[in-house]
Amino acid sequence: MRKFLLLVFIGCICKPLQTKAQFESFKDSVVQLYGIVMTADSLKGLEGVSIVVKGQGRGTITNDKGVFSIVVLKGDEIEFTSVGYKSKHIAIPKTLEGNQHSVIQLMVNDTVYLPATIIKSRVSKEQFARDFVNNPVADDDIAIARKNNDVATRRALVATLPSDGREASNQYLRQAANKAYYAGQAPPQNIFNPFAWAEFIKAWKRGDFKKKK
């Protein structure tokens, strides 16, 4: 019992000491990073520069004078980004003495080359009127629908497009029904059907039997 109480007493003493040591170690790793961000060519304070601690999801921006301040840890990597400038990266030394670190970060212009632009002289009224009249205008939806519903277009589509599954199945069912209707007797011959002859003459006049290239 005495040994158990002794162990409990030692544990109660060691745990606060361990927690205090961990807190002191964490406190020693915290660094107050501050400084100014300026342009490299004119040394002018740059406003609105994003300062982000990579992998931590936190950061800050510079004020109108280019000054910033942020709390980081030793060993963190800091990224400076701004529109029109090349991004910069710095690392906080792990062996930094003290809990403060100041930097003067210079940002270099990021040159972006745009495609060439050709400037032509202004056209005259006569040239504009000529080009406006002769410029082809694309068909609207109504004109396209009218062309697709044209008789010649529909005939060409019927002659060239294959039957889909629904049409093929309907045709098969009609043939099967016709065969079942005349089961046990000879089906009628369309050669004696005046309506069939009329449809044949119409198809012949339309040119349905002409050889297609």
CA neighbor of 104 nearest in space, from 126, 80, 82, 124? 80
**Which stretch of 5-9, 117-121, 137-141 has the lowest confidence by average pLDDT?**
5-9
For residue 67, give the 3-state DSSP assignment. strand
Query: In this predicted model, which residue has the larger pLDDT, 128 or 34?
Result: 34
CA neighbor of 46 nearest in space, from 107, 104, 101? 107
What's residue 23's pLDDT? 41
What's residue 32's pLDDT? 92
pLDDT digits (tens, 9 = 90+) for 35-93: 999 999 889 999 999 999 998 888 999 999 999 999 999 999 999 999 889 999 999 99
What's residue 25's pLDDT? 55
What's residue 79's pLDDT? 95
Instruction: List residues bridging with 61 in a β-sheet.
Output: 50
CA distance 66 to 61: 9
CA distance 21 to 26: 9
Query: In this predicted model, which residue has the larger pLDDT, 161 or 142?
Result: 142
Band of residue 21 on the pLDDT scale cut at 50, 70, 90: very low
Band of residue 24 on the pLDDT scale cut at 50, 70, 90: low
Mean pLDDT of 149-175: 81
Query: In this predicted model, which residue has the larger pLDDT, 117 or 35?
Result: 35
Mean pLDDT of 166-177: 84
Mean pLDDT of 131-147: 84
With vertex at residue 169, the alpha carbon angle to CA 163 and CA 170, rounded to the nearest 5 degrees, is 90
Query: In this predicted model, which residue has the larger pLDDT, 166 or 1?
Result: 166
Band of residue 109 on the pLDDT scale cut at 50, 70, 90: very high
Write down the domain spans for the chain: 26-107, 125-206
Query: In this predicted model, which residue has the larger pLDDT, 172 or 76?
Result: 76
Is residue 45 exposed (0-12), middle (13-18) or buried (19+ Cβ within 10 Å)? middle
Selecting from 2.60.40.1120, 3.30.70.100, 3.40.50.880, 3.40.50.2000, what CATH number does the domain 26-107 have?
Answer: 2.60.40.1120
77-82 and 85-91 as β-strands: parallel, antiparallel, unpaired?
antiparallel
Mean pLDDT, the chain, rounded, equals 81
What's residue 172's pLDDT? 83
C-alpha of 83 from chain center: 21
CA distance 181 to 92: 93
Query: Whole-model pTM above 0.75?
Result: no
With vertex at residue 91, the alpha carbon angle to CA 89 and CA 93, rounded to the nearest 5 degrees, is 165
